[in-house]
Structure 1
């Protein structure tokens, strides 16, 4: 039992490395023997910009994928049941950890990449991604039931996408409640274990075509690359189950990207506004709803935002 407890602690620590909107880490975990229950934490939901919990469940989905890969690293087989209770919308999943075979090479590579993956909001190298790298990320999204729509620098629609991003950011900047919500989770003290500290917000840019999110508290100015790849993650539907699936697809493709030394940053404001989200879907002629917009490029390993301790997110009942 002590060994299993140690394994579960390592698994949950890996889970906590998952990306989450504004680094809110909106998950709660209960452990009973070899069974892990994951719940969304409404106290960590962005209630104004994410009133339906879409981004909260995407974040929880990314947590679930890390748990899956970390379990395989421990030679355990995770049996996942997503949204098992229709009456309990905050119950994201249950995971039963069963004895399993040793991980294969792909599983081990993804598990190792968990600790190396980090979001960056700084400029990338000004060069496009290699075709084989892009294909690997698209396959990763597909393996989790999602689609990755690439937006290359040469595509005329890219300017329209950036115009919608800037429009959404401008509308949010005019909304006092949205500003207060962003301030609560950004430019936080460096010793805080959630949120984004000032030095990791990234610099401001006056270039409307620079594919980077502008935070209200961003400081300084930088010249951003023009030839990085933008990508939109798309799911078949737009239900809570699709949002959890989007989170798992997102983390799989980010871990695959990490193995190729590719970094990512996100522009979520355009998807938090129903109008600009709809317009983005129309501009890209998407047959299904967009769940995440990101920029992808080669760059140096960035510092990582801090994470809550396992004890802070877990309640153990033996």
Structure 2
């Protein structure tokens, strides 16, 4: 039977799951602190990429992804939760405080997303030429909408424009002072618990259509070449605004989309170069709809690849704090229709529903 309040061990396990979130260059730029029935999520300033991400936008997207995964883990453990973004003006690196409330049975939607967490990874290899079904793309768009963002499928003309912008951005970044050194810091052949290992780098696209970031640039070894899918499926994730809170929101929506794609047996690749160059990012913005582009995703059916390494809990946990102030009042009773079900009965078509 689920306890009224989770133990520290339960919250520690939830933090461990949160560290599986994606991040720019697998920099894992987050820190956590458990205090009473709450978990604080901080941005780690030492892990910001100053050349590629001078404003910290992508760092906060990464932290947002960790926040969503933490919320999901808490719900999977059988508890409700609420989060407050930037709760303390005196602590700008305190991105969110997640408050844990009373017990609530995990829904099939939550179980599906929890099951996807250890299998989610970035795939930088070619995808099959098989198109992604429209109904699956609709599920991905709905996943973004449930977290307050918009996910748009690029039609053929827009797809070619996005790929062109991505290639231009990749070339612009490669000659930017400090970019190659920063890239080398987060890649290489040594044993480490962050960054992008060589086995995850992937080949060059022989068709020169899909720009995969060259993490192998600092390694004096020839990079293999393969033919990628000629017409990749591209998705643009956008938000209504473009402030720090919107970046965190984008990260939470991104992670829900990625986990939903994983549950659908899809592979994903962030193509972030065009949103890392301000002039090109503006070209992805929808002036009529007022939507601000935050990330471009490539999705498709790819072969299985490994999961990149993660830092241990000792590296991401801040010292124990005093119990956090009480969170927003919530009804701890389960929602109507919420009940425990075996994973064998979970509908694999789409893990919908809210993660609270």
TM-score, length-normalised on structure 1?
Answer: 0.93
Higher percent of residues as helix: 1
Deviations 1:100-140 (A, max 9, x none): 21111101111111111111101111111011110000000
- Do structure 1's residue 24 and structure 2's residue 23 form an aligned pair? no
Following TM superposition, by how much is the alpha carbon of 1:230 offset from its aligned partner in structure 2, in angstroms? 0.4
Give me the whole-angstrom Cα distance separating, in 1, the residues matched to 2:237 and 2:188: 27
Following TM superposition, by how much is the alpha carbon of 1:257 offset from its aligned partner in structure 2, in angstroms? 0.8
Which residue pairs with 2:348 in the alignment?
Answer: none
Give me the whole-angstrom Cα distance separating, in 1, the residues matched to 2:189 and 2:100: 36
Higher Cα Rg: structure 1 or 2?
A: 2
Following TM superposition, by how much is the alpha carbon of 1:3 offset from its aligned partner in structure 2, in angstroms? 6.9
Give me the whole-angstrom Cα distance separating, in 1, the residues matched to 2:189 and 2:90: 35
Are the counterparts in 2 of residues 205 and 222 from structure 1 also a CA contact under 8 Å? yes
1:303 corresponds, among 303, 306, 312, to 306
Q: Given the superposition, is the C-alpha separation of residues 170 and 216 from structure 1 closer, same or farther in structure 2, using an over 3 Å criterion?
A: farther
The unaligned stretches of length 5 or more in structure 2 are 218-222, 322-356
Following TM superposition, by how much is the alpha carbon of 1:280 offset from its aligned partner in structure 2, in angstroms? 2.8
- Do structure 1's residue 13 and structure 2's residue 16 form an aligned pair? yes
Question: Match of 2:68, SS?
Answer: helix
TM-score, length-normalised on structure 2?
Answer: 0.84
Which residue pairs with 2:345 in the alignment?
Answer: none
How much is the aligned-residue C-alpha RMSD, in angstroms?
1.9
- Do structure 1's residue 47 and structure 2's residue 55 form an aligned pair? no
Which residue pairs with 1:72 in the alignment?
Answer: 75
Question: Match of 2:178, SS?
Answer: helix
Runs of 4+ in 1 over 6 A off after TM superposition: none
2:270 corresponds, among 254, 266, 271, to 266
Are the counterparts in 1 of residues 198 and 215 from structure 2 also a CA contact under 8 Å? no
The unaligned stretches of length 5 or more in structure 1 are none
Which residue pairs with 1:160 in the alignment?
Answer: 161
Following TM superposition, by how much is the alpha carbon of 1:157 offset from its aligned partner in structure 2, in angstroms? 2.3
Question: Match of 2:73, SS?
Answer: helix
Give me the whole-angstrom Cα distance separating, in 2, the residues matched to 1:227 and 1:10: 41
Which residue pairs with 2:213 in the alignment?
Answer: 214
Count of matched residue positions in the alignment of Structure 1 and Structure 2: 313
Q: Given the superposition, is the C-alpha separation of residues 226 and 20 from structure 1 closer, same or farther in structure 2, using an over 3 Å criterion?
A: same
